[in-house]
Structures are given as C-alpha cells and as structure tokens.
Amino acid sequence: MRAKVRVKPFLKWAGGKFKLIDTICDHLPQGKKLIEPFLGSGAVFINTEYEHYLLSDVNPDLIHLYRTLKLKGDAFIDYCEQFFQPEHNKERKYYLYRDEFNQLEANDKKAALFLYLNRHGYNGLCRYNQAGQFNVPFGRYKHPYFPRKEMQFFHLKSKKATFICEDFASVMKRARKDNVVYCDPPYVPLSPTAYFTSYAQTGFSLHDQERLALLAEKLSSRGVSVVISNHENEITRRLYEKAKLEKFLVRRNISCNGKNRAFADELLAIYTDK
C-alpha cells in the first residue's frame, strides 16, 4: 500500500519511521482503512494509499495541530510561517514562546507554537515534565526549516483522515474486518537498564506492551491485520510469539552524539489470518 512518492513528515520526531517506510509498507496488508493508534509524525499515514484513515495519539497538542492544519490549510500554514523569521530564532524568544505555549488553551496560536517548538527546540524532541508542561530546551539552529510543502501535502492527505486523541486500546477496538492497524508504540528496552519510555506524559509500561500484543492477537482472529514495530530482543520475541516476525537492521538515533549511533535489530510483528 505504498504511495508513489515518498514524502517527509513536516514535524521532526524521535523514533519517526520515514527512513523505514519502504520496509514497513512492504509488509502492510491491503485494506480499506488504516488505523494508527501511535501516530507520531504521521510518516506511515502520508506514505501509504488507503481509502480512509483513523489516526490517534495520546498527545493532545499533536492532535490539535493536525486537526487545525486539516481544517484551515493554507491560511494556518501562512500564520505559522511568521514564527520562522530570524528574530524568533533567539534563545530568549524561544523560552518566552515555550512559556506562552504551556499557558495557552487549544487555539490556532498553540498549534502554531507546537510546530515552532518542534523545529526550534533541541533535536526535535517532544518532552513534558510531570506537571504536563513542554520542557525541551532551545536547539540553537542557524536556520530552522519551515516545512510549507510538507504541511500542504499533509493538509491534502488529511481529507481522508479522522484524528482522535485516545488510548491505543480504545482506538484498536474500533477496527473492523478488512481494516489494517499499524502500531508504533514506545519501544521496549534494549537492555533492562535502558528503558526509553514514551514522549507522552503517561509513559508506556511493559504491561502496556503486553496489552498491545494481546489486542493484536484478538483482532487478527476477527479478520483485522495488525503490524507492530519494535526492537528485536528477548522481550519482543516473547511478546509477539504468535505473530510472524520480520527482522532487519536500523541505525539508532537516540544518542545525542552522532558518532555513537549504532545499528540495532528491529522487527515487525505481523498478525493476520490471511
């Protein structure tokens, strides 16, 4: 179900799937609707061709941005561009905008500032403290890129999509026969001391990983295909023992030091009765 042309997401995103899109698309079954309970940057959404999409993430700021872009299109894109002028790419200005973002209710400016913080903040991270406040530091980029073309593509593609902010389990329970579910949850630890939890405030426990695997098994028995991305290790081999596993090497991007970024095994767990 791969799209004809690969398109980059307009957001920077830790763990984003753009570099793996060919591998993922090669293993996504056909169907009328694609459901994504862990949407993130939307790389799979914008690079596949399904008739309909149900797209969810537990981050309300992310979903608010996507809904605003879907609804307002070019007018909202033009509004966002003003925050990408040189006078806004200063440390003091960044922290003023970050403070304002944390105080705003959901509106157009909050959506635009989420994009601004994503492109001007350190390493494209999306991180919140225990009080639910965005706390990524200033990124110190010379010329942050304004993704106009990528946003325009997302806007056009979003006409096929419904965006919701719900727990993954409630989203997956909406799936019906001949739907396809693609899950990109926060990954299990590469080692017991290296648990990289979710970017969202709530985290994602090993119990949640087990719930996800059980739901995938149940859905596949009802004619719903489910594909899950994760690290390949002892934990995931146990979690996905009832799925077909496809293993491949990818470059890890969690380290802040590029020289220390190494290759690691990842897998796709494919649940289908077809």
For 239-272, write each residue's pLDDT tens digit.
999 999 999 988 765 444 555 556 788 999 999 9
Rounded Cα–Cα distance for residues 101 and 115 (Å): 11
Average pLDDT for 92-109: 98
Rounded Cα–Cα distance for residues 68 and 45 (Å): 17
Name every residue whose Cβ is closer than 8 Å to that of residue 187 and which is 6 or more positions away in sequence.
15, 196, 230, 231
Amino acid at 43: A
Cβ-contact 236, 188 below 8 angstroms: yes
Distances (CA, A) of 230 to 31, 112, 209: 23, 31, 10
Average pLDDT for 140-152: 97
> Residue 98: pLDDT above 80?
yes
Per-residue pLDDT at 243: 97
Instruction: Please provide the average confidence, as pLDDT, over all residues in the chain.
Output: 91
Tokens of 60: 């309300």
Per-residue pLDDT at 253: 53
Per-residue pLDDT at 196: 44
Record the pTM.
0.91
DSSP the chain: -B-SS----SS--TT-SGGGHHHHHHTPPP-SEEEESS-TT-HHHHTB--SEEEEE-S-HHHHHHHHHHHHHHHHHHHHHHGGGSGGG-SHHHHHHHHHHHHH--SSHHHHHHHHHHHHHBGGG---B-TTS-B-PPB---SSPPP-HHHHHHHHHHGGGEEEE---HHHHHTT--TTEEEEE-PPPPPSSTT-----SSTT---HHHHHHHHHHHHHHHHTT-EEEEEEE-SHHHHHHTTTSEEEEEEEE----SSGGG--EEEEEEEEE---
Which is nearest to 241 in space by CA: 267, 264, 219, 222? 267
Rounded Cα–Cα distance for residues 172 and 38 (Å): 11
Alpha carbon 232 to chain centroid distance?
Answer: 19
Segment 154-206, tens digit of pLDDT: 999 999 999 999 999 999 999 999 999 999 999 988 765 554 443 344 578 88
Tokens of 266: 């990842």
Question: Diameter of the chain by CA atoms?
Answer: 56
Instruction: Give phi and psi for 229, each to the nearest 5.
Output: -95, 145
Rounded Cα–Cα distance for residues 143 and 157 (Å): 28
Rounded Cα–Cα distance for residues 164 and 18 (Å): 22
